[in-house]
Amino acid sequence: MPSPNLPSGATALLVGFLKLPIGVVKYAANEPIITGGLLYLLTRGPPHLRERLLGPFQNNLLANNGAGRLAMIVTALKVLAGLGIWKRINRALNAFALNGWRFSRAGASFEFGPAKTELVVITGACSGFGFEMVKGFSEKARIVALDISPFPAELARLPDVHYYQCDVSDSAAIVKVCEEVRKAHGNASVLINNAGIGIGKTVLETTNEECEKLFKVNLISHFALIREFLPGMLEMRKGHIVTIASMASFYAAPGILDYCCSKVGVLYLNDGLRGECLTRYEGGEAICTSSIHPTWHRTRIIKGFEKTLEKRGFAIHPAVNVSNVVVDQVLRGKSGRIHVPLSEESFASLRSWPLWLQDIVLGYAWRPRKGHWMSITKT
């Protein structure tokens, strides 16, 4: 005999679903286990379960033209379940392609663990994501921390963590420091290009000097560091280059256009480097490439903008959310394109939407000036 708790539980689930915050509803709508489960109950479930599930809505939502509205709900659940399944399949195929169309990576094995065989180089290591990544990797590998800022005492106390002061906007300084690193520690097996700056001004408000420095730090330094460490990785037949990009890689936000352009650049560098490793470099199939695309997180780059962002309705997440993703990705030895949080993945396709739809979503259709939801000013 069916459990009497199941119908009431299913009813409570549907009633509660309609009352949940937008973020939770969005998650449920994209989760095929949930939409598929509801679809099954409404179309193939036992009649007594279906009656109890729909009972609370017979006198309101389904009071008039109940059969027609129920058919619309079923159709919507079919569409959502189908899209959810397709997203899962698409994500799996993308992961397979990103890893060289292999189920296991080629080349030598990574040896992360107490022996600390591997060497991880992290730029922008003194704060934000970099600070948390140093802590996250410290028990699994030797760390070289590069940053122009003084090294925090908390990180200096960690074993096998080595700090080198370096201005990554200076390519000559990068070459010099990398030579010192190789002489002292050998070849790096992991490079995490994390250093980044933001200005938060419009094109007309930004000086040429500010713009040039941003591109040197956010983009040009990636090229210089890859040239320094990729040859050693190819020689060892193992390596992982991690690019800290941004959700700004996928759309141009007013007030941070230079930042967005630099993040488009690092995404293309990551993707193009993957192609070169697969087609141009001997042993390149053994090199992992990962791009990480965070939304707003508590780092120096948004310091002073927090109140404005929160007023605009943006959630600000802790930096450790990103560092945890990076550490896990590197330890697994897999290539990837990862959005943090994962719920933002759907916005990565914004550029492929029709222009009129992009304008509506971004609020351009109403030609706002001050007070636009994407306007970001320091407070």
Measured over all CA atoms, what is the biggest interatomic distance in the chain, rounded to whole angstroms? 78
In terms of residues, how long is the chain? 379
In sequence order, the β-bridge partners of residue 317 are 297
Look up residue 47 and give its amino acid.
P
Q: Check if 259 is active-site.
A: yes
Distance CA 367, CA 376 (A): 16
**Structural contact between residues 236 and 281, judged by C-beta atoms closer than 8 angstroms:** no
Task: Please provide residue 247's backbone torsions phi and psi, each rounded to the nearest 5 degrees.
Answer: -65, -15
Query: Which residue in 87, 116, 263, 364 is the catalytic one?
Result: 263
Q: Tell me which of 116, 140, 238, 259 is the catalytic residue.
A: 259
Across the chain, how many H-helices and E-strands are there? 14, 7
Burial class of 18 by CB neighbour count within 10 A (0 to 12, 13 to 18, 19+) = exposed
CB atoms within 10 A of CB 55: 13
Which residues share a beta bridge with 121?
A: 144, 191
Rounded to the nearest 10 degrees, how much is the dihedral formed by the CA atoms of 4, 7, 10, 11? -120
Q: Token pair of 355, please?
A: 């222009």
Q: Could you give the CA distance from residue 153 to residue 98 in angstroms, rounded to a whole number?
A: 38
The two structure tokens encoding residue 300 = 């120096």
Distance CA 3, CA 1 (A): 6
Residue of 113, 177, 187 whose CA lies nearest to 147: 177
DSSP 150: P
Catalytic residue list: 259, 263
